[in-house]
Copies of this chain bind each other. A is one copy, B any other.
Amino acid sequence: MKLESLKTLFNPKSVAVVGATENQKKMGCHAIISVMESFKGKIYPVNPSRDEVFGLRAYPDPESIPEPPDLAILAIPRDHIYGMVKKFIERGTRAFVIITAGFREAEISDGEVMHERLRNLVESAGAVVIGPNTFGMTDLKSGINASFTPALYKVKKGDIALVSQSGGICHLLVPYAMRYGIGFSKIVGLGNRLNVDFPEMLEYLAEDENTKSIALYIEGIENPKRMLEKIREVSRKKPVVAMKAGRFEKANKASKSHTGSMAGDYKVYTSALKQYGAVIAETLEELVSYAKALSMQKPLYGDNIAVISLVAGLGMVASDTCELIGLKVAEFSEKTREKLYEILPPYTIRDNPVDLGFVANDPELCGKAIETVADDRMVDGIVVNYIYSWSGDFLEVPVRHIIAAGKKKPMTACINYPPGVWDDVKEKLESSSVPVYPTPEIAVKGLKALRDYGRILMRG
């Protein structure tokens, strides 16, 4: 029943925004803008002191809305939340986003009590709540931004579902993702997790056809056993990447005040998460970068990596990173070595790591070398490192060959370029499942995520 309500939450046909206003100092203003800019269905602003909000007819209360809205977004003072949710439930609404803060997360004695009371109400109706104390959520594929951040909907559409216990982290990751063109299916701020927590989201996302990988930013875990069982179940179907904050005591203490749960012992939790099937990320950059690789590429079932670079320096850094994080720079087969000696001239490096610098302006030849390496049965995965030429058409990325090689073996690419200029190259590669990263280190780490997931799947 909760699963059904979650389905409605992410695919509503009508949405009420309670606290909708044109006063920019209020969350309700940004929430209604978010909905208006994203949502094609019926929108019902609820505000007893206004007839209209941004040209939409406003309603004084849930009872006066012509139909029970599928989703209600609440941005009103804490003390009015319970009564309002009750009225919506009575009308038949089963999905809520509660932005309002001040429940069990803060230094207020009655917060916990109010939290519990609200939960009982919601649970008994089979309804679901994202929040309270959240920015909300956005579903970029179904087309609803139920958050106080209109710009969330300007993020690129993609196949990663980001589920975060911290809204701030989402708001940091989103511009990071925008700079590097990382796409999302959904971005969800769990907030205080009244009755939608990681396990519910995992269960829902496992079946969500818009989502290919799941990224979790975790602070505290209420019910570790349930969470771990769900990760075990879901990770067989879809890769789950988890970053666990609260590694040390100081951060842990902050977690309690923040979303009302202790972060728990970092090592115990990450070992458990890993054992149950999560790919572990240690930084925010890793979290989205891993999720990106896993949303695009096949799992990697071996350690032997071919490193192919347009410039030797990148090849060195990529090779170092491979060895440092537990992958190997592959030994090419005799056949591959012979073929590379045949097709590539001196001044290039015709062994792993391959350096194509001297033939950089011959994309056909570079592409042929990349495909040759991809055919080597001693190679399990590939990282390709390219630089931007800066000089007109002097240098061209052999997109077609890279894509072909990426179909043969799990592959990531490092290509960094001045903002704007090679977005089409990146777009072509990524739409054919080759994830592009800004540095060789993070490109190799992308392969490591594929390897970790390969290990998880092999374990069964």
CB atoms of A311 and B166 under 8 A apart: yes
B251 touches A353 (CB 8 A): yes
Let me know if A61 is at the binding interface, CB within 8 A: no
Binds B, one of A198-206, A411-419, A452-460: A411-419
Contact with B along A362-381 (1 / 0, CB 8 A): 00000000000000000000
Of A10-18, A174-182, A396-404, A428-436, the stretch lying at the interface with chain B is A174-182
Do the beta carbons of A312 and B30 come within 8 Å of each other?
no
A168 lies within 8 A of chain B by Cβ: yes
The verdict on A296 contacting chain B, using a C-beta distance below 8 Å, is no
- Interface of chain A residues 62 through 117 with chain B (CB within 8 A): 101-102, 106-108
How far is it, in angstroms, between the C-alpha of A358 and the C-alpha of B78 when the chains are bound?
A: 14
A359 an interface residue at 8 Å Cβ cutoff? no
A46 within 8 A of B: no
Chain copies in complex:
2
A392 and B219 within 8 A (CB): no
Please report the C-alpha to C-alpha distance between residue A108 and residue B101 in the assembled complex, in whole angstroms: 70
- Contact partner of A171 (CB less than 8 A), chosen from B149, B246, B388, B419, is B388
CB-CB under 8 A for A245 and B355, given A106-B346, A285-B441, A416-B172 = no
C-alpha gap A29/B361 in the complex (Å): 15
B166 touches A390 (CB 8 A): no
| B311 pairs with A167, CB closer than 8 A | yes
Q: Is A248 an interface residue (CB 8 A)?
A: yes
Residues of B within 8 A of A24 (CB): 391-394
CB-CB nearest in chain B for A166: B313
Contacts of A323 in B (CB 8 A): 247-248, 250-251
**Cβ B258 vs Cβ A219 within 8 A:** no
Q: How large is the interface on A (under 10, 10 to 19, 20 to 34, 35 or more residues)?
A: 35 or more
Inter-chain CA distance A101–B165, complex, in Å, is 53
A349 within 8 Å of B (CB atoms): yes
| B-contacting 9-mer, from A229-237, A272-280, A314-322 | A314-322
Residue from the list B148, B168, B257, B390 in contact with A151, Cβ < 8 A: B390
> A102 contacts which chain B residues (CB < 8 A)?
347
The reply to whether B394 and A25 form a contact with Cβ atoms under 8 Å apart is yes
Given contacts A24-B392, A25-B394, A108-B346, contact A312 B171 (CB under 8 A): no
Would B165 and A313 count as touching, CB distance under 8 A? yes
Within 8 Å of chain B (Cβ to Cβ): is A254? yes
Contacts of A418 in B (CB 8 A): 151, 154, 174-175, 178
Bound CA span A148–B395, Å: 13
Assembly CA distance A101 to B53 (angstroms): 68
Chain A positions 435 through 446: 1 when the CB is less than 8 Å from some CB of chain B, otherwise 0: 000111100000
Complex contact A285–B417 (CB within 8 A):
no
Contacts of A352 in B (CB 8 A): 250
Q: Which residue of B lies closest to A361 (CB)?
A: B25
CB of A196 within 8 A of chain B? no
Contacts of A319 in B (CB 8 A): 248, 250-251, 254
9 tightest A-B CB contacts, nearest first: A168-B311, A166-B313, A258-B312, A250-B329, A248-B323, A251-B319, A251-B316, A169-B313, A247-B320
Task: Write 21 A-B pairs (CB below 8 A) sorted by A numbering.
Answer: A29-B391, A106-B347, A148-B391, A150-B390, A150-B391, A151-B391, A154-B418, A166-B311, A167-B313, A168-B310, A168-B311, A168-B314, A169-B317, A172-B314, A174-B418, A175-B388, A178-B419, A179-B416, A251-B319, A258-B355, A284-B441
